[in-house]
Structure 1
């Protein structure tokens, strides 16, 4: 019996020795690593461009085989491609392609409102990704209220995105840069008045990172980083810039515009902080691989649009300024009015030499603005030009300014302030400058783009405005 007791004692000591030896060989206790890997892809300001979505899907699908992936958009999905803007369901091709690529979240851009409330409601309901925007209230419009912020979880990674949109659309109102009549039932706040409300979101959500997904523009993103320094990263849009900078220790990114680039952030996150960050701005024009199924869908959208019909001829290349002079001339003659104006920001493209296609006119004027007429006195027109300081193209008159006075001529004859003239314009101008356009306008049945197309289809005269510069802005 004594022998077995001694044997058990030595066996116990041996096991204890092995256990102690194991601890000595691993002096640091085993602790599960808190490092997490994540890739974020981002685009912004695609403005209806479709072609490169097939390349984007290929790139993203390849990355998903390696690590956690989140795909985000910095806003301005719509307005800029007639294939999208004139689809039977305006804007739907963009939603369809973003769904199929696998986007997780998008902030609302100012041009998301361009089609009006009813269409935005439909597009929101068709989206398989989340929308975020903390400074809009949809009120009783029926448009689904976007999340102020949304937390996306990919395996063991938890990222929260706060959405903010710019509100610089009108001098005497807080609205985005869109047609004011299309957001009149919505309420907006300046991003600076709401950003401070979200300082505790990261802690409350227990997120690994808190990211501002904005449609504010680069300078506002920089101010956001300076004045509200609780974001880990800012991913932006609106200024169409290619940003890769750090302000107040907060990295800020933006990926150009028109779907020419895809931003790629490769992150290592440790203890809820960015441990390492590698950034690449992928030039999609230099990338050749693509997802064939998505490319076929894009091709089908382009073919169905039927926008390649020839409607006129341009004798030379026209810059945007020359296009503006042509545009107002065509608007004036087709609408049969005395004069016409067009805001310079409403001319979005140049015009190539040669045959003019429908799609070119829609790319010049993508906003689906209505064509309206007003009757105003010369003095009322001068008050608008002087008070608004709007940059415009014009037709039907000559304008001069000197020593704070505007002089208006027609056929080289100075016009008296009491003379009444008919004006043909897009309905965006009176909506923005409503203090100068107080009458009820007369609407035509066509958008301004359709009006220009009708003019070209009804004339055989080639277009050449290269020597004309009907531009005015009161100084």
Structure 2
């Protein structure tokens, strides 16, 4: 009897002691994070990427934890190869991305700079078609000076959201989320508030209504770091814009970015201790590859849009499935290389431009026109060419003074790391002497030169090249392709590249 009483006493004491020191509930909030997604199908011959695989991963995560949110911090309706095709008399213009992301089950998205590639009416259509929520903390619709939040059909786009995740009893963990976009695409219908100012303004408004603050951003990594330094209240940043994965800290703020086109995604676990009010973040960079099966419903939506786009390309003289050539050595289309260095792909595109020109001695185009962010290897189809140069565009020949040509080329060097970095063919650059030339002869300011350029370069819209417009006095002559002559491949740089690669077999 005494032993039983002693055992009962010990068990009672242990129970009471355990209750007195019990740990508070740790709430696990999961974010599936992808950014800068322009392709709905897999890349590199089907090895990597593919939104059907992302959809399947999302389903798996939701089974494990219903408190899972899928987010996309900008750049998805443009630019994409499929979006340039026509369907039912109109360009698709990103409609395929919205439909696929709706099927996938995306929860939250934000503006990236490329969302403003289109006219306002196109962007409005895409927002209205979305089943997911958009968030915009620092970007406004500018209507002749009247600045208001962009709207969807039935409500304005919120400047923030507060996620409420069940904890214990009736208690909730309240997560504030803002979305801040870089101000590089300055369309007349868009107004940008300073990112830090917007973040501080919103935090001041909601700080008493949240347990902690996180952000989606579409900023450069340097801007992300500056934001984190100015706003330590932001505990976690899920970013985009750079196109390659990174996981860095600024003071106590973690900044994460995945690889573009869903080659990889991040799975973030935000573990919040409700008693100590402490947040711990655990992240896994997940490669999206053949190890993940395709979600059936998403695959159906993907295939629907591929069929529609390919039909549109055929109506414009392309045969997307035709094999153009077989490459034994890869052509480097990776953005991290094409925006920093002269690449073999840049040389091939430049030579293709030169090959169809009438009297040019060299060719120049902006690296930002190359959007494939992939290596071209093995069998190359016409669709691969379309993916490489989704914007297409004409090849324009100009007679230009040496003074202006040098300004163009030096600005291209100054743009290293951005879309305005120039790729070229037929021109030599000596970095040691910072000099330019043709066939061993330097460029002379008072001489004139015939150069083939992509038509976009003459709009003045390229980075730091507002001076480069058709009315620049340094441009002496402009030779346009014959618009009604289908044999004039200068009408579309992609057709010029297809011809060049076929002839080089």
- TM-score band by shorter chain is 0.7 to 0.9
**Equivalent pairs, count:** 426
Instruction: Give the 3 Å change call, closer, same or farther, for CA 123–140 of structure 1 in structure 2.
Output: same
> Corresponding residue for 1:67?
66
The answer on whether the counterparts of 1:139 and 1:186 sit within 8 Å (CA) in structure 2 is yes
Q: Quote the Cα distance in structure 1 between the aligned partners of 2:253 and 2:501.
A: 58
> Corresponding residue for 2:176?
160
- 1:87-116 deviation line (CA, Å, top 9, x unaligned): 632212211121122222112122223344
Q: Where do residues 417-456 of structure 1 align in structure 2 (5 Å cutoff)?
A: 417-419=446-448, 421=450, 423-428=452-457, 430-432=460-462, 433-437=465-469, 439=471, 451-456=492-497
Q: Is 2:503 the partner of 1:462?
A: yes
> Corresponding residue for 1:293?
297
Q: Which runs of 5+ in 2 are unaligned?
A: 1-14, 43-49, 167-171, 311-318, 333-342, 416-420, 473-477
> Corresponding residue for 2:335?
none
In the TM superposition, residue 64 of structure 1 has moved relative to its aligned partner by 3.1
Q: Quote the Cα distance in structure 1 between the aligned partners of 2:276 and 2:114.
A: 34
- 1:311-353 deviation line (CA, Å, top 9, x unaligned): 6335642533222122122223435352421123433457646
The answer on whether the counterparts of 1:308 and 1:359 sit within 8 Å (CA) in structure 2 is yes
The answer on whether the counterparts of 1:340 and 1:396 sit within 8 Å (CA) in structure 2 is yes
Instruction: Give the 3 Å change call, closer, same or farther, for CA 294–347 of structure 1 in structure 2.
Output: closer
Q: Quote the Cα distance in structure 1 between the aligned partners of 2:141 and 2:443.
A: 49
Q: Is 2:152 the partner of 1:128?
A: no
Q: Is 2:208 the partner of 1:209?
A: no
| Residue in structure 2 matching 1:317, options 329, 347, 352 | 329
Q: Where do residues 14-33 of structure 1 align in structure 2 (5 Å cutoff)?
A: none
Q: Is 2:36 the partner of 1:45?
A: yes
SS in 1 for 2:408: helix
SS in 2 for 1:427: helix
Q: Quote the Cα distance in structure 1 between the aligned partners of 2:55 and 2:62.
A: 10
> Corresponding residue for 1:468?
none
Q: Is 2:162 the partner of 1:151?
A: yes
- What's the TM-score, normalizing by structure 2? 0.71
> Corresponding residue for 1:195?
199
Q: Quote the Cα distance in structure 1 between the aligned partners of 2:280 and 2:432.
A: 59
Q: Quote the Cα distance in structure 1 between the aligned partners of 2:98 and 2:218.
A: 18
The answer on whether the counterparts of 1:335 and 1:424 sit within 8 Å (CA) in structure 2 is no
- 1:110-135 deviation line (CA, Å, top 9, x unaligned): 22233443322221121122222333
Instruction: Give the 3 Å change call, closer, same or farther, for CA 401–436 of structure 1 in structure 2.
Output: farther
Q: Please give the root-mean-square deviation of Cα atoms over the aligned residues, in Å.
A: 4.0
Instruction: Give the 3 Å change call, closer, same or farther, for CA 253–449 of structure 1 in structure 2.
Output: farther
Instruction: Give the 3 Å change call, closer, same or farther, for CA 302–32 of structure 1 in structure 2.
Output: same
- 1:17-49 deviation line (CA, Å, top 9, x unaligned): xxxxxxxx97989x9977544222211122223
| Residue in structure 2 matching 1:329, options 343, 351, 369 | 351
In the TM superposition, residue 235 of structure 1 has moved relative to its aligned partner by 1.1
Q: Where do residues 45-444 of structure 1 align in structure 2 (5 Å cutoff)?
A: 45-51=36-42, 52-65=50-63, 66-79=65-78, 81-86=80-85, 88=87, 89-140=92-143, 144=151, 146-153=157-164, 156-167=172-183, 175-176=184-185, 183-204=187-208, 206-269=209-272, 270=274, 273-285=277-289, 287-306=291-310, 308-310=320-322, 312-313=324-325, 316-320=328-332, 321-334=343-356, 336=358, 338=360, 339-349=362-372, 352=376, 356-368=380-392, 371-387=395-411, 389=413, 390=415, 391-395=421-425, 403=433, 406-408=436-438, 417-419=446-448, 421=450, 423-428=452-457, 430-432=460-462, 433-437=465-469, 439=471
Q: Quote the Cα distance in structure 2 between the aligned partners of 1:42 and 1:59.
A: 11
Q: Quote the Cα distance in structure 2 between the aligned partners of 1:221 and 1:231.
A: 11
Instruction: Give the 3 Å change call, closer, same or farther, for CA 125–379 of structure 1 in structure 2.
Output: same
In the TM superposition, residue 442 of structure 1 has moved relative to its aligned partner by 7.6
Q: Quote the Cα distance in structure 1 between the aligned partners of 2:176 and 2:190.
A: 25
SS in 2 for 1:302: helix
SS in 1 for 2:364: strand
- What's the TM-score, normalizing by structure 1? 0.75
SS in 2 for 1:293: helix
